[in-house]
Amino acid sequence: MKKQQLWGGRFKKGLADIAKDFSYSLSFDHVLLPYDVAVNKAHVLGLVGAGVLTESEKDQLHHALDEVLVEAEDELSQAPDDEDVHGFVERLVVQKLGDLGKKMHTGKSRNDQVATDVRLYLKHHITELNELIHSTLNVLGAFAERHKATVFPGFTHLQIAQPVVLGHHICAYIEKIKRDQNRLVDAFERTDVCPLGSAAMAGPNYGIDRLMVAGELGFSDITLNSMDAVSDRDFMFDFLYAASMITLHLSQFCEELIFWSSSVVGFISIGDEYTTGSSIMPQKKNPDIAELIRGQAGPVVGQLMGLHEMVKGLPLTYNRDLQNDKRLLIEVVDMTAMALAVFNGMIPTIDVHEDKIERAMMSGHILATEVADYLTQKGVPFRDAHEVVGQMVQHADAQGKQVHELTLDELASFSSVVESDVMDRLSFKAAIDQKQGIGATSFREVDARLSQLKEEFGW
């Protein structure tokens, strides 16, 4: 049977080969095939309800569509010359059923069809990404639980600041990833709206029950303006932003892992399964996988910006520019899923070297703020206490010591309020235990937060 284009009756010449190469999208939108088949099957049901097709015709079309799904991989391997996935599916159905196959597109446009396909695709992959996020929270929770009593240097400006619990540090990323999960849920909700039945942009001339069709496809609601329905890509923006935040947070954490694992710092070692060597330096153990995860954030944000620039100047309704929205969406789905899966595998391989951590905490006057707070609690205005401790730091530097290594007499020489009880404050664990507010780093608060998370996620 001669191939029939989805359009072309009013054209005398066919599309130039270079224009085909430039404009055909089957090479990437073939991933929409199962969703396109589902959309066609649901639309056929709508046509039966509208009296356009009979039950017998519906059965034949559904059977042919099922066969297309089974045969698709082999058909695609033959590099078919179809414009897009919609033409690919329709051509195969027409080959099987002749004129009946040509009826399948009645009352439907590729404009509302692709919008529906993409929403189904994205709903499916948001669900899969949500499962990966759940695994991320699990592995981070286990990491935090293992180190809920491990003292660790907290940093600001990448300078040693105050003692914290390593589990508290890890829990900070759990909070970030939890927000990412919430953003995915929000994106799913806005994706879960069915545009099918909007046709090209004005709606069809057939009495198709859109609510029934949407229900068949598993949508919770339908769009309420046909022109908005075929042009709307807001749901993609919601997802791409959520994905950009996921990869950003993974990137931030991987940067810390890279820093902690350096031979200069040595706080952690990442397992051999997630590190690589050098082609010339035999001693190297490089955190390449963490670096590659870190590198995903830029391309994902780039795709978000790409869609923004693609859409910002488009008038209503459908414009061909939107063909490329699928390419960048598919890339982001794949990049985000891979980054999460690899991250989830890497985290359990990490070994923490508490001896290196303890040595690092003997630098940077990490307990200076504790001394300032001690003076303030003795009645010294905080700004004055800050000044006094700054002088203590100068004196300690001159002695080659840390502030907490100064003797009681040395500390008392800077302020008359210093008493022997100051020595009770000059340990890392004592400093941590002073932080008793909700959300703070005390051992008690960290344990309490982990208990809440265990209950929330069923760890």
Q: Mapping DSSP to helix (H, G, I), strand (E, B) and coil, where does residue 260 land?
A: helix
Token representation of residue 409: 């007499």
What is the pairing mode between strands 221-222 and 351-352?
A: unpaired
In the beta sheet, which residues pair with residue 268? 352
Q: Which of 230, 234, 223 is nearest to 202 (CA)?
A: 230
Q: 214-222 — which CB contacts under 8 Å span 24+ positions?
A: 216/41, 216/42, 216/45, 217/38, 217/39, 217/42, 217/116, 217/120, 218/120, 218/123, 219/119, 219/192, 219/193, 219/194, 220/192, 220/193, 221/192, 221/193, 221/194, 222/193, 222/194, 222/195, 222/197
Do residues 96 and 41 lie in contact, with contact meaning Cβ atoms separated by under 8 Å? Answer: no
Do residues 230 and 111 lie in contact, with contact meaning Cβ atoms separated by under 8 Å? Answer: yes
236 Rama sector, left if φ>0, alpha if ψ -120 to 50, beta otherwise = alpha
Q: What is the dihedral of CA 379, 380, 381, 385, to 10 degrees?
A: -140
CB atoms within 10 A of CB 301: 19
Do residues 296 and 250 lie in contact, with contact meaning Cβ atoms separated by under 8 Å? Answer: yes
77, 157, 416, 420: the catalytic one is 157
CA angle 112, 113, 114 (to 5 degrees): 95
262, 278, 363, 451: the catalytic one is 278
What is the C-alpha separation between 215 and 306, in angstroms, rounded?
Answer: 33
Look up 105 and say whether it is catalytic. no
User: Tokens 């105050």 identify what position?
Assistant: 162
User: Tokens 């959309």 identify what position?
Assistant: 39
Look up 404 and say whether it is catalytic. no
What is the C-alpha separation between 207 and 186, in angstroms, rounded?
Answer: 32
What is the C-alpha separation between 9 and 2, in angstroms, rounded?
Answer: 15
55 burial (CB, 10 Å; 0-12 / 13-18 / 19+) is exposed
Check whether the bond before 116 is cis (ω within 30° of 0).
no
First to last CA, the chain: 59
Token representation of residue 67: 């066969």
In the beta sheet, which residues pair with residue 222? 194
In the beta sheet, which residues pair with residue 162? 154
**Residues with active-site annotation:** 157, 278
